[in-house]
Amino acid sequence: MGAFVFLPLVLPLTAWPVARLAEHHLHPRMATWLLTGASAVLAVCSTLSLALLLVVGTAQLPGNPLPDGWSDPGVRQAVPYDEVAGRVAIPTLILVLASCARAAWRHRRVRRRAGRALEGLPATPVVVLPDANPYAYALPGRKGRAGVLAKVRARARGKARARVGGKDQSGVGGKGRAAGGARDRVVVTTAMLAALTGPERRALFAHERAHLAARHHRFLLAVQLAAPANPFLRPLRTAVTYTTERWADEEAATSVGSRRIVARAVGKAALISRGAPSVTLAGFALVGPVPRRVAALLGPAPAARSWPSLFTGAGLAAWGAAAGTAASALSSANSAVTLFVILKAATPL
C-alpha cells in the first residue's frame, strides 16, 4: 500500500486547472458530466483513503476495539508515519462525514421549504408568485413515494372511468392534485415577469425547463456533497454551478431560436434579481457567472463534440480529469485490497 494511500488525498489539487479548461473549452453538457463525475469519484476515493489511514493508524492506540493482530509491526509498515496519520485521520474523517451530512440535510430542508411554500396552489407546471422580489427557479418534483402514489391513483381513476362509462367516480379532483407535489415546476414571481418582454419570458421558461429536463439539481447536489470531502474539490463545485447554467442557456437558445434574446433576458434578470432562494436550486440569474454567460451567448454556439482531441484545450481538460480520476480510483482500490489482505493475514482465526 505504502504512500499510494495518500495519492487520492492530493490528486484533487488538479481540480482548479481542469475546471478552468472545462468551463472555457468544453460544451457545457460534457463539462457538467465530466466535472461532476470526477468530483464524485475523487471525493469517494479521498474519504476511503482517510478511512484506511484511520484503521491502520489507530490499531495500536490503547483502548481501541480492533483485533490485537492489527497493531503488529507488519501491518503498521503498510502506511508511512502510521501513528501520526491515524491521529490526524480521526478528526478529519469525522469532519468530512459531518460536513457531507450537513450538506445533504440543507438540500433536503430547502427542497421541503420550497415545496411547502407552494402548498395550496394549483399543481400547474408554472407557478407565478405575487412577490415584489424578482426571481425565478426550477423546483424539481419528488419522484419517490408521492410519484408512486400519483401513478396508482391515476390507474385507479382510469379503471373507474372504464367501469362507469368514462366518468371519473374516484372522488379525486382532476386538476393534478393527486400528484402530491410530485411534478416538476417552474417558479417565477410577478416582479420578474413584469421586467421581461414576451420573447424574454419565453427564454426564461425554456431555461428553467431545461434545468428540469436534464435534472441539473442532481449534478448540483453531487458536487455539494463532494466539496466537503476534500477542500481541493471546491473549484469543481463552482464550475458545475456555472456549466449547468450554461447548459440551460444553450438549450433555451435552441428552443427560442435566438441566442441574443436569451443573453438579453439573462442580463436583464441579473440586474434586478436576487437569484434563486438557495444554491441548491437552479436559478435563472445567479450573480457570479452572469457576465460570462452573456458573453458566451453573444458568441457562436459551442461545438457538441463527443470527446475532444488531446491536442486541444478541451482535450487537455477532458483527458486530464479522466486520468486523475482513474489514478485516484486505482490507488484507492489498490490500497483497500492490500490492506484487506494484510489485515486478514494478521487476524487470528
Same domain, 283 and 262: yes
Q: Check residue 120 and give its pLDDT.
A: 79
Q: Check residue 166 and give its pLDDT.
A: 47
Range of the domain at 75: 2-141+184-346
Same domain, 137 and 167: no
The alpha helices in the chain, defined as continuous H runs, are 7-10, 15-25, 28-58, 73-76, 82-117, 145-163, 190-195, 198-213, 216-226, 234-256, 259-272, 290-298, 313-346
Q: Check residue 297 and give its pLDDT.
A: 92
The model's pTM? 0.77
Which of 183, 210, 244 delimits the end of a domain? Answer: 183
The one-letter code for the residue type at 149 is: L
Same domain, 252 and 233: yes
Task: Tell me which of 4 and 131 has the higher pLDDT.
Answer: 131
Q: Check residue 203 and give its pLDDT.
A: 94
Same domain, 65 and 174: no
pLDDT band at 182 (very low <50, low <70, confident <90, very high): low
Q: Check residue 169 and give its pLDDT.
A: 39
Average pLDDT in the 140-145 region? Answer: 63
Same domain, 102 and 162: no
Same domain, 198 and 244: yes
The C-alpha cell at 5 is: 494511500
Same domain, 155 and 35: no
Q: Check residue 49 and give its pLDDT.
A: 85
DSSP-derived 3-state class of residue 185: strand
Residues near 278 by beta carbon (within 8 Å), at least 6 away in sequence:
110
Percent of the chain with pLDDT over 70: 70
Euclidean distance between CA atoms 228 and 33, whole angstroms: 19
Same domain, 168 and 314: no
Count structural domains, the chain: 2
The chain-wide mean pLDDT, for the chain, equals 77
Same domain, 47 and 162: no
Task: Tell me which of 179 and 200 has the higher pLDDT.
Answer: 200
Euclidean distance between CA atoms 297 and 291, whole angstroms: 10
Euclidean distance between CA atoms 84 and 200, whole angstroms: 59
Which of 155, 183, 211 delimits the end of a domain? Answer: 183
Q: Check residue 148 and give its pLDDT.
A: 42
Average pLDDT in the 275-298 region? Answer: 68
Q: Check residue 123 and give its pLDDT.
A: 79
Same domain, 168 and 266: no
Same domain, 166 and 232: no
Which of 154, 183, 212 delimits the end of a domain? Answer: 183
Average pLDDT in the 166-178 region? Answer: 39
Same domain, 247 and 327: yes
Percent of the chain with pLDDT over 90: 23
